[in-house]
Chain A
Amino acid sequence: MIRLTKVELRRLTARRLTIVGLAGLFVITVMLLTATWFNARPLSTVEQQRAQQQFELAHKDWVDNAAVNRQQCEADWKTQPDPKPTLEDMCAYPEPKLEDFGKPKTVFAEIMPDLLQGSSYFLAFAAFLIGASFIGAEFSSGAIGNWLTFEPRRLRVYGSKLLAAATGFVPIAAVTLAIVLLGTFLIVDRLGDTAGVTGHTWGDLSAIGGRAVVTTALAAVLGCVVGLLLRHTAAAIGVVMAYLVLAEGVFAAFLEKAQPWLVRVNFDAFVRHDAQYYVTECKSGNDGSYGCESVVKTLTFEHGAWYLATLAVVMVLIGGWVFHRRDVN
């Protein structure tokens, strides 16, 4: 099994699609860091002067008119019908501050979790694509038949392929995420705010990165299984695209309450340690009115972890059963 896995790893790393995929990952990583650098750049001198002028105008207006405006507002508040907002909500005139004008500083601890989550999406997609092609090409070329005349123990063959795909993507994902993490830190340290970064922050970010590595390996395995079931890379990608559009797009939009049973929210819940999603809740009021509002729901990390684990186990078992039984032509 170990020898077979090594052979499969050698094949995986020698494939052109793997090399192209890695080059694509590198390009995306560079683009991500470039975008971060653009977003973190401070304003130019001219823009800063303009912001300063705007602040001074606003502050002067506040000094001149805030008291009068508040008095007028309080008078208006008294005439508001019930239920009326609180006085502070309606008539707060806070003093303008310079940092409210111009571009806010980029804060490392705030942007990094989103960047890691975004990276986990393209890593998972690349892993799925390469995993599906890794097996799909073997079936479409017929090479699997030749392979089985050298190693007829199908479950070993199957296991070695999945293991190779999973282990092959662990270092790829780890290195990509490390580059994103450290690259972003260096950019923000120079152009933004890293003052609040503590050991705890690094721990949280490493945990997100670690879970993104797990989802990447899982995506590679699922890619292999779907490639094996459909025996063609294009078919595997087509099925995933159809799922994303129909289930995650159309179905989730019409049946919002089904979101906890779809992949994307569970994926987010696992990677980010809890994820939020929105459902629209409508109800009739006592006065006969009928209104709808968007309610935020939380999907827990545990739910996401169990969901992904169950999905992986079920798919791997189905793939193994089919491969064990299937006639190879």
Chain B
Amino acid sequence: MSDVAISTRGLRKTYRTRRGRKVVAVQGLDLDVPAGGVHGFLGPNGSGKTTSIRMLLGLVRSDAGTMTVFGKTVPAQLPEVVGRVGAIVESPKFFPAFTGRKNLELLAEAIGAPRTRVGEVLDQTSLGERGNDRFRSYSLGMKQRLAIAATLLKDPDLLIFDEPTNGLDPAGIREIRETMRGLGDRGKTVLVSSHILAEVEQVADTVSIIGHGRLLASGTVAEVIGGGAAPTVKVAVANHEAATRILTAAGMTVRADGNYLLVEGAPEPADVTRRLAHQELYVSELVPVRADLESVFLELTEGEGL
């Protein structure tokens, strides 16, 4: 298996609206998704996530650029790797009048998977008892689970989930999250696109952030967060005025936040307590405020005018 599951270079897609206006959905996207683990693909609505995924799956033709999946050029060599790729693009789409089982049986037959596999994946996604109900009678969560079941028919090495938790209730969101994490832990590559950052932060090992169809940041979650915002410490101390003077003199930036002070620029949180204790100001509470993906994301996308 190559180290990179997905790679795109200079990927570009332009749509023409019904009025003839050109809309650039993806412009020169360079994306690398490492093999194994969960990769978050982040961006605001309309940033080109779904279009990029559709291009990778051969559903949409790119105007320019190159794409590879497991080292194979797509879409030309997509048939060679499609057996290793499972995907759910936006909302799950099946034949509404057929049962969940029937939908899966047709897909299984198309790829030459044994029919027994259908029962297995239905059980794996807790749909065994509802497998004989029509797809149109399913709740959104069940539809999503059926879509996951469909992707599991192939036992793929790469799973692509596009906004998988849209419209799901908290239990459904948790279920999907656990499924993705579980797949990642089993060595599968999971590419999950989302604009809900907290969700991705909880499950992803690596992330890519895009805006206006271009890559804005990429790396491990820690790298992306670390590179985006300075460490901050939240401090509770009796004398705000004196503490502010001492810490500012030490080169830190201090601002009031209710009963607390927010201190930026401290090399370590211990520096704050040490400097204040020297001046007989004792800290009653000290909490490192960790920059989260959301703040990084907003910082990056604000710069793009998004």
Among A7-15, A30-38, A113-121, A253-261, which stretch is in contact with chain B? A7-15
Q: Which residue of B lies closest to A16 (CB)?
A: B97
Q: Tell me if A137 is interfacial: C-beta within 8 Å of chain B.
A: yes
A145, B160: Cα distance in complex, Å? 14
Which one of B105-113, B171-179, B275-283 is at the A interface? B105-113
Chain B residues within 8 Å of A150, by CB: 82, 107, 110-111, 154
Contact residues of A: prevailing secondary structure? helix
**Is the Cβ of B93 less than 8 Å from the Cβ of A153?**
no
Within 8 Å of chain B (Cβ to Cβ): is A325?
Answer: yes
| B54 interface residue per 8 A CB criterion | yes
A3 CB contacts on chain B under 8 angstroms: 109-110, 112
Number of interface residues, chain A, beta carbon within 8 A:
27
C-alpha gap A149/B91 in the complex (Å): 14
Bound-state CA distance A146–B111 (Å) is 13
- Please determine whether B102 and A146 come into contact, CB atoms closer than 8 angstroms: no
Asked if B60 and A327 make an inter-chain contact with CB atoms under 8 angstroms apart, the answer reads yes
When distances are taken between beta carbons in the complex, the residues of chain A under 8 Å from B109 are 3, 6-7, 10
Q: Mark B128-151, 1 if CB is under 8 A from A, else 0.
A: 000000000000000000010010
Q: How far is it, in angstroms, between the C-alpha of A234 and the C-alpha of B61 when the chains are bound?
A: 28
Bound Cα distance A246, B108 (Å) = 45
Check if A249 is an interface residue, CB within 8 A of chain B.
no
Given the interface pairs A3-B112, A10-B106, A10-B109, the reply to whether A141 lies near B94 with Cβ below 8 Å is yes
B252 contacts chain A at the CB level, 8 A cutoff = no
Q: Which A residues are in CB contact (< 8 Å) with B93?
A: 141-143, 145-146
Distance from B37 Cβ to chain A, minimum over Cβ atoms (Å): 22
Please judge, given known A-B contacts A3-B112, A4-B110, A146-B150, whether A327 and B96 are in contact too, CB under 8 Å. no
Chain A positions within 8 Å of B59 at CB level: 145, 148-149, 327-329
CA–CA, A156 and B228, complex, Å:
48
**Least CB separation from A4: chain B residue:** B110
- Give the distance to chain A from B217, nearest Cβ to Cβ, in Å: 28
Check: A95 CB closer than 8 A to any chain B CB: no
- What residues of chain B lie closer than 8 Å to A76, measured between beta carbons? none
Minimal beta-carbon separation of A297 from chain B (angstroms): 45
Q: A3-B112, A152-B79 are in contact. Are A145 and B89 (CB under 8 A)?
A: yes
In the assembly, what is the distance between CA of A10 and CA of B95, in Å?
Answer: 13
What sequence of 0s and 1s flags, for each residue 67-95 of chain B, a beta carbon within 8 Å of any chain A beta carbon? 00000000100110010011101011111
* Whole-angstrom distance between the Cβ of B75 and the nearest chain A Cβ: 7
Within the complex, what minimum Cβ distance (angstroms) separates A93 from chain B?
70
Q: Within the complex, which residue of A146, A152, A327 is in contact with B94, where a contact is CB–CB below 8 Å?
A: A146
Known: A7-B106, A7-B109. A152 touches B57 (CB 8 A): yes
Set of chain B residues within 8 Å of A149, measured between Cβ atoms: 57, 59, 82, 85-87, 89
B231, CB-defined interface residue at 8 Å: no
Flag whether B269 is at the interface (Cβ < 8 A).
Answer: no
Interface residue B58 (Cβ < 8 Å from any Cβ of A): yes
| B33-75 near A? 1/0 per residue, CB < 8 Å | 0000000000000000000001001111100000000000001
Q: List 6 A-B contacts (CB under 8 A).
A: A3-B112, A16-B97, A146-B147, A151-B82, A151-B111, A327-B54
* Known pairs A143-B93, A150-B111, A153-B79 / 13 extra A-B pairs, C-beta < 8 Å: A3-B109, A3-B112, A4-B110, A10-B106, A14-B98, A137-B95, A146-B89, A147-B107, A149-B85, A151-B111, A152-B79, A327-B54, A327-B61
